[in-house]
A and B are shown apart, each in its own frame.
Chain A
Amino acid sequence: AQTVTQSQPEMSVQEAETVTLSCTYDTSESDYYLFWYKQPPSRQMILVIRQEAYKQQNATENRFSVNFQKAAKSFSLKISDSQLGDAAMYFCAYRSAMTNSKLTFGKGITLSVRP
């Protein structure tokens, strides 16, 4: 079974600074997808960024980028120019490329942004 580990329960960043959230995962599969989801206090889970394991290039979405290290099974999220609205829980998630696969989440990290 696949597992996703987020070992940092909380992080804090100064507004306009850069922060990196860590995630590791364990799998025996070679083809899969990795995601970062954001859950603001309103509770709705929102997709931040997605990475296909077969792609070597790291995904980027505006201020959000990932550092995907397949051999190390590491998938960190970098948030640049942090904004107050970035404060939320962030979840790393894994999904197999096999048919009918589900999303497996880490425990999440609470990010606070200091003005």
Chain B
Amino acid sequence: DTGVSQNPRHKITKRGQNVTFRCDPISEHNRLYWYRQTLGQGPEFLTYFQNEAQLEKSRLLSDRFSAERPKGSFSTLEIQRTEQGDSAMYLCASSPRDATPLHFGNGTRLTVT
């Protein structure tokens, strides 16, 4: 069990640029979640995959956000035309099945200047 891996750890980008983050869940975990966390706040749900199927998307996930999990293993989260309000920690988590605790990665800290 190598844990949930997220890359990069930090990303600084200029407003209007596109960014992509990657998440590698724990192997054999077929459920994968993306959350966003701003400073001093709890994580907010963005989207959820079961295997390669994206089963739920939050209203927070605007048209500029897209997530994929093409082979049911790793996942990518892309933000197009970044805005300063997108600055946050983006957390990925995985779990093996329903009702089990989520295992979180270290997150990707995005700063939009």
Chain B window 29-51, contacts with chain A (Cβ cutoff 8 Å), 1 for yes, 0 for no: 00001000000111111001010
Contacts A91-B43, A103-B33 given; indicate if A42 touches B50 (C-beta within 8 A): no
Decide if B56 is an interface residue (CB 8 Å cutoff).
yes
Decide if A80 is an interface residue (CB 8 Å cutoff).
no
Name which residue of chain A comes closest to B58, CB basis: A102
Decide if B21 is an interface residue (CB 8 Å cutoff).
no
Q: What's the Cα separation between A95 and B104 when bound, in Å? A: 15
Contacts of A99 in B (CB 8 A): 98
Quick one: which of A13-53 are within 8 Å of B by CB?
33, 35, 37, 42-47, 50
Interface size class of A (residues with CB under 8 A): 20 to 34
Contacts of A93 in B (CB 8 A): 42
Contacts A43-B89, A105-B42, A106-B42 given; indicate if A100 touches B56 (C-beta within 8 A): yes
Contacts of A47 in B (CB 8 A): 101-103
Given contacts A43-B106, A47-B103, A107-B41, 18 further A-B contacts (CB under 8 A): A33-B99, A37-B104, A42-B106, A43-B107, A44-B105, A44-B107, A45-B93, A47-B102, A97-B98, A100-B56, A101-B99, A102-B33, A102-B56, A103-B102, A104-B45, A107-B40, A107-B42, A108-B41
